[in-house]
Amino acid sequence: MQITDPIIPRHIVWADPERFLVKLSPDAKYISYLAPFEDNLNLWVAPLGGSQMATPVTISQHPLKEYWWATDSSYLLYIHDHYGDENWQLHGFSLTTGKTITYTKPGTQVRVLHFSASKPNKILIGLNERDKRFHDPYLLDIQTGQLECLFENREYWDFFADDDLNLRLGIKVNGKGGEYIDIASPSKTCLSQVSLHDLFGLYYYPRLRLGLATNNKLYLTQSINNNTSMLISVDMSNQSVETLGKNNDADVCDVLLNPQNKVPLAFAVNYERKKWQSLDDATGVDFTYLQSIDDGDIDILSQSTDNEHWLVGFYRDNGPTAYYHYDRQQHQAHYLFDSHSDFKHYPFTKMHPRVITMRDGLSCVCYLSLPRQSDINEKGIPSQPLPLVLMVHGGPNYRDIWCFNPTHQWLANRGYAVLSVNYRASTGFGKAHLAAGHGEWGGKIQLDLLDAVEWAISQGITTRDKVAIMGRSFGGYATLVGLSMTPDVFCCGVDIVGPSNLETMAKHFPPYWRAMQGAIQEMLGCDPDTPEGNAYLKERSPLFYAKQIKKPLLIGHGANDVRVMQSESDQMVASLKENHIPVTYAIFPDEGHQFLHPGNRMAFYALAEAFLAKILKGQVEPYDEHVHTSMIVKEDDFKLHV
């Protein structure tokens, strides 16, 4: 191993941020954010410009998922689940009375659909209480908690409303894509069609859920007759379509709306990094000024109702997110705070975008991080070959982005090169890139990963005998495929909540995914309810190749995972034990598809760190026995947990 920086402690890299999901109240008097309180992310509020006066307004034993301001700034609404079960429960905190109301029942999943400035005391939500497969739309009075069911939903995946909280549109999903249905009309007319690509964009980029403006135009992203998704408007009176913005290399991934009339002001695309394009001169002046402040990627996190105040985040690859209050009238940004104030004491490394051409000519945007001491010129070229960890993202329709990536920083600090690949099926690069991955689980997607390894070897980044594979969810599946179906390529693997048997995975999807069944079948490449589909899924399942595994494997799983059941890891471990193949297996009784409790994250990554060091010989920080974790190590053939 070459010279490395001093170890950055795991509690620095993997702890919850000091401030996260920072927002501005609609009246621009307050800021809010999630921050640690009693070992969980809770909701805090402070006067704008007075963050030292912040106070927690929740004391939740469950990490909060998301929150929203009521449009008159009188309430904060927030959701959390119970130990990772994804049954999001909605609560409201009154800034006037200091009291909290619980709006929905445990065991029911809520979706927050629409807020209205003209009706600040009411919001539209969806609840799957009647039928777990579908969310019925409800009108909720946030002051009294009264719920009014608008109708029983048996077909729609999502809804859009106008500013009077009238339901106007519903999205129906089939195997080819979706339709925007005018549910306010007796004939239920189809106003616009969207591809599967556009639907996945809506799912993975929630802020693309644009909807109706006061000018009676529907704003949405769509890729009909184009490879990448475009920002378009549809005139509701005559269905005429206008293209407002597009990019040939990447999808529209974010849109900034005027909060008063809901008309787009700017849009963003993200090929290697996030770039904004303004749709009017005034907004263009704003972005020109903001770009002069910081070279990080810009995100407009929230706006005041009058659009005169913005909460802006600058995202960096080797440092914390910096938050600013931007006064548009004064054209002046006021620094508020960083997401992690202690990051400035540690030597984090850069993240380098790379475009790799796969064997069939497909271009994939990838991100490479190196140990800082091997990347002195910060060009992404190591002074000598390094052990490499191939980090595979989930989904498979998520994507990796340029940002401060804790996994990259942790691994690079321990002495490893880290490569993340936006393989075919990744969202953000056009529908051809997405569709190229349909039906390619364990197929061409896996070949993209192998091609990325070959690229890294050819560039002198690593050597053939020092490549590990690691990932969560689909990335965990890819890890299992890599070790079982190509047993000589990787020297070890770390699988986090990965499915081992696609047959059983498909049988246990959450019931509320039913509305997206056609899209899921297209993604998998088969109908799991047919014999032919089951045979295909079995062929692509690493469980049935487990006896071919001959390299070390570490598995971690949350016991309450509803997307990939714990049984997926249980059956893989059972098969390995039956074939006398060593494995270390850790489960977390209070987690689901993600490890949300910081103590659990630190415990698992301590295990992974010791595991990788046994094979790749990187740096190791001793295990901290004082970390509060629920981790149970069921199998430990590699003697990692002492």
AA letter at 405: N
318 located within any domain: no
47-61, 159-173, 183-197, 610-624: least confident range: 183-197
Quick one: which of 352, 389, 393 has its CA closest to 617? 389
448 located within any domain: yes
The answer to whether 127 touches 103, Cβ cutoff 8 Å, is no
173-187, 435-449, 532-546: least confident range: 173-187
219 located within any domain: no
d(CA 14, CA 224): 41
Query: Taking all residues of the chain, what is their mean pLDDT, rounded to a whole number?
Result: 95
Residues 6+ apart with CB under 8 A from 622: none
352 located within any domain: yes
156 located within any domain: no
Tens digits of per-residue pLDDT, 482-511?
999 999 999 999 999 999 999 999 999 999
171-185, 321-335, 541-555: least confident range: 171-185
Place of tokens 């994804």: 86
| Cα end-to-end span (Å), the chain | 25
Domain count, the chain: 1
Which pLDDT does position 1 carry in this prediction? 46
164-178, 297-311, 417-431, 532-546: least confident range: 164-178
Specify the CATH number for the domain of residue 365: 3.40.50.1820
Overall pTM surpassing 0.85 (yes/no): yes
The answer to whether 399 touches 384, Cβ cutoff 8 Å, is no
Quick one: which of 291, 301, 382, 366 has its CA closest to 336? 301
The answer to whether 592 touches 83, Cβ cutoff 8 Å, is yes
The answer to whether 14 touches 342, Cβ cutoff 8 Å, is no
Query: Which tokens is 615 given?
Result: 């094979």
187-196, 240-249, 536-545: least confident range: 187-196
196 located within any domain: no
DSSP SS3 for 399: coil
Which pLDDT does position 619 carry in this prediction? 96
For the chain, helix (H) and strand (E) counts, in that order, are: 12, 36
d(CA 627, CA 114): 40
Quick one: which of 354, 351, 479 has its CA closest to 421? 354
Q: Which domain holds residue 471?
A: 345-501+541-636
Share of the chain above pLDDT 90, in %: 85
Tens digits of per-residue pLDDT, 321-354?
999 999 999 999 999 999 999 999 999 999 999 9
Confidence of residue 2 (pLDDT cuts 50, 70, 90): low
Catalytic positions, written as ranges: 473, 561, 593
109 located within any domain: no
303 located within any domain: no
Q: What is the mean pLDDT of residues 254-268?
A: 96
Which pLDDT does position 626 carry in this prediction? 84
Task: Report DSSP state, residue 637.
Answer: T
Q: What is the mean pLDDT of residues 515-524?
A: 89
